């Protein structure tokens, strides 16, 4: 990369980037705390992560103006690991996630993203929204109407304030108002302080306190793999959205590597694994950001806020955070997917719903993606495995002509064989493959079977119209055109 590009990416839009960075930092606080609580760790872990990731990604990310930090998608994957083995294992898993993501980037695997169907991606974001929503429900257990009213108040402020002013992020105002209300009325609602420690200190370097052995690897690897996949999925999706919003292009493999580097550093500084944040990235670009400076400012200003305002942060009622998270969930959900439900193919809808259900049941976004990808692959195979065979009899010569149309491969051969009537009276049969493609050895075996069956009935068979790849495959594998051809045992 040349100096000119670096200068442009960093200092091409100083004013817009600094302002947007500050707005994002303010909006990051409630989310980072709430995602820590979802993961079951101290709020500091999410705040440190958001600081570290935002700062590191500013330098090594592939998509300027994108914001990364602690996210709900990642937090949801950590719950079991943290509950069973503790936060030190989470830090180790975070570092391993980073290593796996760097490998992903180095081997340029981003190009395989195109094999993930859109209905799976839609299912992914919808499932994420549902999980963020349901993760808030335990906060209501054993609470009074005061807490309910605070949640409703927070949501009202978030939605209504932008009608009056857009200068400050409305979630932050909601947090401040609800916190002030709780403090002044001495209401005994649960606060962030009740959920864990919030030391006012800079993050410091430390090696995760886990035994360096195979057993540790076995514990952290499944979580790290899920984090790798989910983190990159959300990051690359967000990068594409920022690409479109800004009408520019970005390096997805560099972004993958960057996410990896950011996670490794975060793991060593006591943060949880993170990825790109769809909502924050949109806020950032909308607030005028275009360059890398925005992400750096967001991270640094976030740290400043935590250090300066730590005493106040612990007094934030959980109710306010629940309100913010409800709004995040509503904003994450892809409502347009419901609107177009009657327009898209039924199989797309099934894939989307299966992805969502799998995630909601397993609490693991990566499993939902796997289920969705496998199911849509099956649907795809089913769809293209329809072969059409039409036939007609030449009235002059009495020749029977079959025309095969479609993809001939393992999934379509049964239908293909059943389309031929080998016991017919015609003395001569012609099979025309002009509109077909022969893909694999099953297809060639099926052709063999048809030809040889005809021969057994003393019918002369001619195959024509094979395109070049099909014909070379048939020449290589077929037995019907070789001397002494007969069907093997089956």
Q: Contact residues for another protein (CB under 8 A)?
A: 114, 117-118, 121-122, 125, 162-163, 237, 240-241, 243-247, 278, 282, 285-286, 334, 336-337, 340
Nearer to another protein, 163 or 490 (CB): 163
371-403 in b/e form (b: 16+ CB < 10 A) is bbbebbeebeeeeebebebebeeeeeeebbbbb
Residue 138 Cβ vs another protein, minimum distance, rounded to whole Å: 29
Residue 244 Cβ vs another protein, minimum distance, rounded to whole Å: 4
Cβ-proximal residues to 255 (8 Å cutoff; 6+ apart), any chain: 61, 62, 63, 66, 105, 110, 235, 236, 239, 276
- Locus of tokens 């012609």: 430
CA dist 474 and 463 (Å) reads 11
Residue 155 Cβ vs another protein, minimum distance, rounded to whole Å: 15
Residue 67 Cβ vs another protein, minimum distance, rounded to whole Å: 14
Residue 386 Cβ vs another protein, minimum distance, rounded to whole Å: 22
Cα 57 vs. chain centroid, distance in angstroms? 19
Nearer to another protein, 127 or 189 (CB): 127
Nearer to another protein, 334 or 415 (CB): 334
Nearer to another protein, 91 or 326 (CB): 326
382-386, long-range: CB within 8 Å, 24+ apart, which pairs? 382/411, 383/347, 384/412, 385/409, 385/411, 385/412, 385/415, 386/412, 386/415
- Is 348:119 a contact under the CB 8 Å cutoff? yes
CA dist 270 and 355 (Å) reads 32
Nearer to another protein, 82 or 236 (CB): 236
Nearer to another protein, 13 or 223 (CB): 13
Residue 359 Cβ vs another protein, minimum distance, rounded to whole Å: 16
Q: Of 321, 363, 332, nearest to 28 (Cα)?
A: 321
Give me the sign of the Cα torsion angle 310, 312, 315, 321. negative
Residue 169 Cβ vs another protein, minimum distance, rounded to whole Å: 15
CA dist 200 and 9 (Å) reads 33
Nearer to another protein, 45 or 121 (CB): 121
């Amino acid at each position: 990369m040349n100096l000119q590009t670096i200068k442009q990416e960093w200092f091409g839009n100083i004013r817009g980037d600094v302002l947007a960075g500050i707005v994002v930092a303010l909006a990051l606080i409630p989310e980072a705390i709430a995602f820590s609580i979802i993961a079951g760790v101290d709020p500091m872990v999410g705040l440190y992560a958001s600081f570290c990731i935002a700062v590191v990604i500013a330098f090594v990310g592939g998509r300027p103006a994108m914001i990364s930090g602690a996210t709900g998608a990642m937090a949801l994957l950590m719950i079991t690991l943290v509950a069973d083995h503790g936060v030190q294992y989470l830090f180790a898993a975070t570092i391993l996630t980073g290593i796996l993501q760097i490998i992903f980037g180095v081997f340029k695997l981003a190009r395989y993203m195109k094999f993930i169907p859109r209905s799976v991606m839609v299912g992914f974001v919808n499932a994420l929204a549902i999980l963020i929503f349901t993760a808030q429900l335990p906060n209501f257990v054993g609470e009074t109407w005061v807490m309910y009213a605070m949640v409703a108040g927070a949501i009202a402020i978030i939605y209504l304030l932008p009608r009056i002013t857009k200068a400050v992020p409305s979630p932050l105002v909601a947090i401040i108002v609800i916190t002030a209300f709780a403090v002044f009325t001495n209401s005994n609602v649960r606060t962030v302080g009740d959920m864990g420690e919030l030391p006012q200190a800079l993050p410091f370097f430390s090696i995760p306190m886990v035994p360096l052995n195979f057993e540790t690897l076995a514990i952290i690897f499944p979580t790290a793999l899920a984090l790798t996949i989910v983190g990159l999925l959300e990051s690359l999706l967000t990068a594409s959205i920022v690409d479109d919003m800004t009408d520019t292009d970005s390096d997805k493999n560099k972004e993958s590597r960057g996410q990896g580097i950011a996670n490794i550093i975060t793991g060593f500084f006591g943060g949880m694994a993170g990825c790109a944040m769809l909502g924050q990235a949109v806020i950032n670009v909308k607030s005028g950001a275009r360059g890398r400076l925005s992400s750096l400012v967001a991270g640094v200003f976030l740290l400043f806020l935590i250090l300066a305002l730590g005493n106040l942060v612990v007094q934030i009622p959980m109710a306010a955070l629940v309100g913010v998270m409800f709004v995040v969930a509503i904003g994450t959900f892809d409502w347009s997917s419901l609107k177009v439900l009657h327009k898209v193919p039924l199989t797309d809808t099934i894939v989307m719903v299966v992805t969502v259900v799998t995630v909601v049941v397993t609490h693991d976004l990566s499993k939902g993606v796997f289920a969705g990808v496998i199911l849509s692959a099956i649907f795809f195979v089913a769809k293209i495995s329809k072969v059409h065979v039409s036939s007609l009899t030449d009235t002059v010569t009495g020749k029977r002509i079959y025309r095969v149309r479609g993809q001939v491969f393992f999934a379509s051969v049964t239908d293909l064989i059943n389309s031929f009537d080998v016991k017919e009276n015609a003395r001569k049969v012609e099979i025309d493959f002009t509109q077909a493609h022969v893909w694999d050895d099953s297809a060639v075996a099926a052709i063999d079977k048809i030809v040889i069956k005809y021969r057994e009935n003393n019918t002369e068979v001619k195959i024509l119209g094979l395109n070049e790849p099909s014909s070379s495959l048939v020449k290589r594998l077929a037995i019907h055109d070789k001397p002494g051809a007969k069907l093997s045992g089956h």
